[in-house]
Structure 1
């Protein structure tokens, strides 16, 4: 039976004029930086020049970040040389630089990769440098730690939620799904002609694993046991969505950006995606959508999503350069700059109070803020072993959705690969 549509959960995309003010009023990280030096000497860069590296290759992140870097550079009397490296090349380059003790002064690193870089000994302990994570969500603070020290701090984070086209739902007489059973039923009913009921990314990389983890963890799966009954249950859900035609077989090649394109084009009634898509979605005034938490296996369960987003790190060099870089990080994590970043780049503030204020001011972000409270850092269970296990899980997803392997067999192979 179709569930009656609750109109209070619908809204049209709109500008978010109150979000920045709410963040500014909320207060941000409690950060006390050590003194700055001259910024001369060290690895790469002229005196009073710092180097920075990240992998942002699309708007709004790649347009907003240089502006924020410039602002914090001016405040600290230093020029910041910005370098963008393609995502696939980013970690190999960074690890190579770490082994050569030539890391950039500043690096914005995906939080599950932080421990790998910290393990090389190439990063400055931000704890010892005087930066505090007081006020952050515990999972966010944990994501930047290695062996009890903080090496990275996130200015904002992201996660995954379920977007739905409110026009399609209204015409179908449906409300947004809250359970897996409702998700499957709604996706089937909303699949018509070229339009699929739901879209997600199952590409064979960390991106696909990231999209699958909300279902995996909410089913009480554990990354140390990829072939558990809970894991099989979660992957079976995805298999059934694709097998029934409610999701496209092309999900195995779609990135999250591709998924967003399909949703905007009206080729998917629902999609799993993150808050960073909101600026693009809101730019299309003809698109009407809502955002709700990821559906769960049973009504009493709570969604457990992977903690997304990057952390600012400082590379070892000379004391004066390190101090200058720490001062810049303090600026990047300040109330004003973190507010701008969260608003313009579609992120959730790392500070709990600021996030709560944002959720009240912006209903589009409320679901994401709700989920941050139960989100999990991807390295919590495995530490530096996470990337290997993540790839094994991504390979299993591909084997099931593209290769026809059963979820049980694919996950059994993944467990073996993760242990070797």
Structure 2
């Protein structure tokens, strides 16, 4: 009888589908995500998810590409939105539409749209964010300034806040930050599956940033200098900065701030939009149909309203279900936070073009040459456009 029990246990263990899961959730959100994984594993016997932290979005992408070439890629991957499109194009990610029956009726429509590529769903959103214009409330109050509502007001505030050793604004030369401004002006960095780096809106965006730097009202930082950009703001060397809603909880988890932090919606033209960014749960082709079913089952577990509420409070990601808002009524009572989160109504995925992963290096190089080396904006963007088109054989 004991032998029969052991064989039954062994059979059940062998039937369980084990799903290695590479994720990018660091503190403070990792606690909520790992709790969800543990809870899911304990709630059923068909699947077991094995999480492993593999760094930030870019680090994780590099590790996955290496694993795909050499073997050892996971079943599930927590990847950034722009990376998803490339995985789909290369046939590495599985389309999930056949497994998406019985989804919650209160799921935000934009949620699944964010994980779509050319009409198919390849990613299940875990965390989606919108941008915020962060500002030093104490410095603004001292100058009698209000939170900027337009890019013109951003320029005016930056001018008034700048001094001999301080800058009104810290600028990041990464593609996400620049794209956010271009989208807010009603533009796009991609048009007809080709780079659109010299569009009217892109030129206008870079000319504004160039003007601020040249006048001494802004400090430009590249991606490698991102810690310095944060330090500029924390040490009151700069008084405004653009970042996702999720940036502030990460900072607050590591340090206390000596001043009040304000946040405002991204200034936006009437025809403009704001970028919906973040990461999605992707099923890689080696996982097969059972892996896809397990991923969807875990995602639905993660979407439970109370867990969603805990995730939003901890990370400042957008709630993915309307029912979760009932649990967040006090959190969303803050007027500044409510206004920033309300941008979800005018948000769209910031990048769903597979080619962008290949092109963005040329654009970031152009931004740095213009903002840190003084190359004229149009000249820098035209060079990036030529390099990107050359890759496409144009």
TM-score normalized by the length of structure 2? 0.83
Structure 1 position 328, deviation (Å):
1.7
Residue 288 (structure 1) aligned to one of 260, 283, 286: 260
Equivalence for 1:119? 89
CA distance in 2, matches of 1:133, 1:79: 23
CA RMSD of aligned residues (A): 2.9
Counterpart check, 1:367 vs 2:339? yes
Residue 138 (structure 2) aligned to one of 167, 171, 186: 167
CA distance in 2, matches of 1:144, 1:268: 35
Counterpart check, 1:276 vs 2:246? yes
Equivalence for 1:29? none
Residues 98, 39 of structure 1: alpha-carbon distance in 2 compared, 3 angstrom cutoff: farther
CA distance in 2, matches of 1:126, 1:320: 11
What do the CA deviations read for 1:225-268 (whole angstroms, capped 9, x no partner)?
2112221111011111111111124456532x543332222222
Tell me which protein shows more strand as a share of its residues. Answer: 2
CA distance in 1, matches of 2:108, 2:367: 30
SS of corresponding position for 2:37: helix
What do the CA deviations read for 1:138-196 (whole angstroms, capped 9, x no partner)?
44422211232212121331121111111111111111111122111111111134332
| Contact 1:137/1:352, CA 8 A, preserved across alignment | yes
Residues 170, 302 of structure 1: alpha-carbon distance in 2 compared, 3 angstrom cutoff: farther
SS of corresponding position for 2:351: coil
What do the CA deviations read for 1:344-402 (whole angstroms, capped 9, x no partner)?
1221113356569667434342233222222221234xx21121233222122111012
Equivalence for 2:21? 52
Residue 308 (structure 1) aligned to one of 277, 290, 293: 277
Residues 213, 39 of structure 1: alpha-carbon distance in 2 compared, 3 angstrom cutoff: farther
SS of corresponding position for 1:310: strand
| Contact 2:234/2:257, CA 8 A, preserved across alignment | no
Gaps of 5+ in 2: 1-10
SS of corresponding position for 1:104: coil
Residues 179, 50 of structure 1: alpha-carbon distance in 2 compared, 3 angstrom cutoff: same
Counterpart check, 1:188 vs 2:154? no
Structure 1 position 325, deviation (Å):
3.4
Counterpart check, 1:211 vs 2:211? no
Gaps of 5+ in 1: 1-36, 42-46, 203-207
CA distance in 1, matches of 2:340, 2:151: 18
Equivalence for 1:3? none
SS of corresponding position for 1:196: coil
Residues 253, 320 of structure 1: alpha-carbon distance in 2 compared, 3 angstrom cutoff: closer
| Contact 1:116/1:384, CA 8 A, preserved across alignment | yes
Equivalence for 1:405? 375
CA distance in 2, matches of 1:411, 1:199: 21
| Structure 1 consecutive aligned stretches of length 4 or more whose deviation exceeds 6 Å | none
More relative contact order, 1 or 2 (CA 8 Å, 6+ apart): 1
Counterpart check, 1:83 vs 2:52? yes
Equivalence for 2:42? 74
Residues 418, 38 of structure 1: alpha-carbon distance in 2 compared, 3 angstrom cutoff: farther
| Contact 1:159/1:308, CA 8 A, preserved across alignment | yes
Structure 1 position 278, deviation (Å):
2.9
| Contact 1:174/1:186, CA 8 A, preserved across alignment | yes
CA distance in 1, matches of 2:252, 2:371: 28
**Structural mapping, 1:135-150, within 5 Å:** 135-150=106-121
Residues 252, 81 of structure 1: alpha-carbon distance in 2 compared, 3 angstrom cutoff: closer
Residues 105, 148 of structure 1: alpha-carbon distance in 2 compared, 3 angstrom cutoff: same
CA distance in 2, matches of 1:140, 1:319: 22
Counterpart check, 1:396 vs 2:366? yes
SS of corresponding position for 1:59: coil
CA distance in 2, matches of 1:165, 1:237: 21
What do the CA deviations read for 1:65-105 (whole angstroms, capped 9, x no partner)?
32332222222345432222234442233245456786422
Equivalence for 2:8? none
TM-score normalized by the length of structure 1? 0.78
SS of corresponding position for 1:128: helix
Structure 1 position 136, deviation (Å):
4.4
Equivalence for 1:15? none
Counterpart check, 1:336 vs 2:302? no
Aligned residues: 367
